[in-house]
Amino acid sequence: MPIYEYKCNNCGNCFEQLVFNSKEEKDITCSKCGGKKIKKVISSFSCLSQGGGSSLSGCSPKNGFS
Ligand SMILES: [Zn+2]
């Protein structure tokens, strides 16, 4: 499943988003503030992996609402 991580440039929120195609990607908004200034986070630079935690449930408050 093409799940990507994004970070909001407005509020700094990190979230995971299921993306089926690049067209849909343009319509992704921040799950926290609704802002559209988001950028894709490359997995090797994952914001969710900071802090040494082994879980991926870091700062994503709501998974599975898609
Ligand atoms: Zn935001």
* 5, 40 Cβ separation under 8 angstroms: yes
- Classify residue 54: in a domain, yes or no: no
Boundaries of domain holding 8: 3-46
- Ligand 1 centroid, distance to 20 Cα (angstroms): 21
Q: What is the pLDDT of residue 33?
A: 97
Q: What is the CATH number of the domain that holds 17?
A: 2.20.28
CA distances from 64 to 15, 16, 30, 45, 52 (A): 11, 10, 15, 23, 24
Q: Is 23 a domain residue?
A: yes
Indicate the number of domains in the chain.
1
Instruction: Judge whether 62 lies within some domain.
Output: no
Q: Are strands 14-18 and 38-41 parallel, antiparallel or unpaired?
A: unpaired
Q: Rounded to the nearest whole angstrom, what is the distance from the C-alpha of residue 1 to the centroid of ligand 1?
A: 24
How many Å lie between the centroid of ligand 1 and the Cα of residue 33? Answer: 4
Is the pTM above the cut of 0.85?
Answer: no
**pLDDT tens across 37-51, in order?**
999 987 666 666 555
